Amino acid sequence: MSTGSDAPTDKQLVERVQQGDKRAFDLLVKKYQHKIIGLIGRYVYDHHEAMDVSQEAFIKAYRALPNFRGESAFYTWMYRIAINTAKNHLVSKGRRPPDVDVTVDDAQYHDHAVLHEIETPENHLLKQELEKMVYQAMDRLPEDLRMALTLREFEGMSYEDIAQVMDCPVGTVRSRIFRAREAVDKVVAPMMG
């Protein structure tokens, strides 16, 4: 997921929110909600509580957005708000926040030794099942669609570069990647209810 300082889409969305378009914020929430819930879940162990705190974090972020000047990536900024909201929540409940923080990188790659996301065996199975099904869907794609999506997702190539590699117009690359995502989405959608 493009979350670093080189995430132009996040910057564009933030600017749209700052110019009064709340729908852009909805896209940011939809993009990052699972990461934020996962991050807050390492501090607040109760599942429902974690969702409430995540919601509060996004609302705080919206309110603070006029002061966001883009010196850091949106996700880095959002991550700070989420951590602070989680810690404040623990303090307000009379609980002691952990001494060790999750770093942004840890938040992206769930392997922190001290703070563990609430992960029931059922959730773990669901995660594995989802990944397996997405890979299978990728394998079933026609060669041109799979190649376009692979170059984009695993090599991080721009549409223009993919167009050169695949010797086709940029518009075709865009269309192939979209069709590939739609095909993969057919297995993801049922799992997301």
Partner 1 sequence: MSDRIKQSLSALMDDEAGEFELRKTLEQLDSTSAQAWSRYHVARSALKGDAPSQPQLDISAAVMAELEQEPSYQMTPQKPASSRFQWRPLGSVAIAASVTMMIIFGAQTYQSETPMGSAQPQIVLAAPTPANPNLLPAQYGERAVVAPSLQQADVIRLSSSMSYYIDQHHALTSQRSRQWQAGWLPKGFKEVEHDRLSDSEVILYSNNRTTISVSVQPYTTKKASPGTTQSGETVAVGKQVGDQFVTVVGDVPFMLADRIASSVALRTP
In the region spanning residues 107 to 126, those forming contacts with partner 1, defined by CB under 8 A, are 108-110, 117, 119, 123-124, 126
Question: Is residue 59 part of the contact set for partner 1 (CB under 8 A)?
Answer: yes
- φ, ψ of residue 30 in degrees (nearest 5): -65, -35
Question: Is residue 51 part of the contact set for partner 1 (CB under 8 A)?
Answer: yes
Question: Is residue 37 part of the contact set for partner 1 (CB under 8 A)?
Answer: yes
Q: Which is nearer to partner 1, 100 or 191 (CB)?
A: 191
Q: Which is nearer to partner 1, 46 or 160 (CB)?
A: 160
Specify whether the backbone of 118 is left (phi greater than 0), alpha (psi in -120 to 50) or beta. Answer: beta
Of the candidates 177, 149, 148, the one whose C-alpha atom is nearest the C-alpha of residue 164 is 148
**Number of amino acids touching partner 1 (CB under 8 A):** 74
Q: Which is nearer to partner 1, 95 or 124 (CB)?
A: 124
Shortest distance in whole angstroms from residue 91 CB to partner 1: 22
Question: Is residue 54 part of the contact set for partner 1 (CB under 8 A)?
Answer: yes
- How far is 158 from 150, CA to CA, in rounded Å? 12
Could you say which DSSP state residue 174 is in? H
Region of 79-87, 88-96, 139-147, 163-171 interacting with partner 1 (CB under 8 A)? 163-171
- Listing DSSP states for 136-166 in one string gives HHHHHS-HHHHHHHHHHHTT---HHHHHHHH
Q: Which is nearer to partner 1, 35 or 89 (CB)?
A: 35
- φ, ψ of residue 9 in degrees (nearest 5): -65, -40
